[in-house]
Structure 1
Amino acid sequence: MAAPVDLDLAFAADPELGPELRRAAGAWLDPLEGADLWHSLLSGWLGQLASELPPQLRAPAYSLGLSLVGDAEIAALNADWRAQDGPTDVLAFAARDEGLDDTPPLPMPSWADPEDDPAGSRGPAEPLELGDIVISVETASRQAPGHGHGLERELRFLASHGLLHLLGWDHPDEASLTAMLARQERLLTTPGQPE
């Protein structure tokens, strides 16, 4: 199992989500304990994926946002960013989306490589910003029974899907969707992960 990577995680869970959802999601929605759980999970996944990443996404440290919201908030984002009506389960807003323009991704500054500064005199590396993952807990709660598992696992499944999108994975056809879902399953079944 790969070592977790350094991760700066901005985590938020909508405090307006109802008590039934909070019970079903357990600690994953808690502002403090949830932040620790998500940080551990996502940094572990980034460690596992490190060798698969293209050079422009390899970094000693990462930064990303994870927001757990209700249907109304994700529906507004879905309408604004995808011109789609209604809620969806997960949205990923990649900070390094090469499709937005013809400029290449920004290179990591040389000072961010610990090999260039073994004494650490320049301080810690600036994290590579990956973007934001937004998950609708309400939609996830409706979907979970149909997938044969509880809300906690559905949230982790959606987070893995969002993370892979931030790292450049996409599923424009059935074959690429199958490959992406298989990679998600390997992330979710890594030893030491919650069931």
Structure 2
Amino acid sequence: MDKRLSVEVYVQDYFQESSLDVENDENIRITGENWENWFCEWVNMLQSDIPPASIYEIGLRLTDDSEIQTLNSQYRHQDKPTDVLAFAALEVDSPYVTEIDTENEPLYLGDIIVSIDTARKQAIQQNHSLKTELAWLTSHGLLHLIGWDHPDEESLQRMMEKQVMLLKTLGIDINIE
């Protein structure tokens, strides 16, 4: 069995610095600690896909459609809002670093930006909670940070199946059909 890994998540919440109120979800608050727990579960599940380290770092920004549209336009040349953007810090095609000094420095995986506006709309369309949609989008972003991509339907399907597995570690069941 692989050892348990630690993940430090730095959350910037555009709407409220301390936590996100997820309405219609039994008054659940998603705090920085919740996000860290989620990412820790996922990174531990994905150990074989990630360069070895004992501590990982991820940036998470929760924002609105206006800001994510600006970023989408600037970095992807698509002048429209999107649900999630991921900016990976690791080079996908480079060999893994074999020795990382994580006693002093965590391995930075990158940043995930999620539009709460779009997440709310998609949660309603998919008939599930905002919490579920946020877990779905952040798991998608994490997979992008570690090198997953979906240039075609087959790879998108594999990625979505992996996301379903990640959400199950949180006790969230989702149907992708």
Within 1, Cα distance between the matches of 2:16 and 2:54? 36
The one of 47, 50, 61 aligned to 1:50: 47
Matching of residues 39-118 of structure 1 within 5 Å: 39-51=36-48, 53=49, 57-98=51-92, 104=94, 107=97, 109=99, 111-112=101-102
What is the SS of the residue equivalent to 2:29?
helix
Instruction: Kindly indicate whether the alpha-carbon contact (under 8 Å) linking 2:61 and 2:112 is maintained by their aligned counterparts in 1.
Output: yes
Matched with 1:144 is: 123
What is the SS of the residue equivalent to 2:23?
helix
1:102-145 deviation per Cα after TM superposition (whole angstroms, max 9, x unaligned) = xx357254544xxxxxxxxxxx2521110000000000100112
Instruction: Kindly indicate whether the alpha-carbon contact (under 8 Å) linking 1:60 and 1:125 is maintained by their aligned counterparts in 2.
Output: no
What is the SS of the residue equivalent to 1:81?
helix
Cα RMSD of the aligned pairs, angstroms, is 2.6
Within 1, Cα distance between the matches of 2:86 and 2:29? 23
* CA distance 1:180–1:144, change in 2 (3 Å): same
What is the SS of the residue equivalent to 2:78?
coil
What is the SS of the residue equivalent to 1:160?
helix
- Name the structure where helix makes up a greater proportion of residues: 1
1:141-191 deviation per Cα after TM superposition (whole angstroms, max 9, x unaligned) = 00112222011100000000000000100000000000000000011012x
Deviation (angstroms), 1:6: 1.0
* CA distance 1:60–1:16, change in 2 (3 Å): closer
What is the SS of the residue equivalent to 1:59?
coil
Within 2, Cα distance between the matches of 1:144 and 1:79? 24
What is the SS of the residue equivalent to 2:150?
coil
Within 1, Cα distance between the matches of 2:47 and 2:120? 31
Aligned residues, how many?
169
Amino acid at match of 1:12: Q
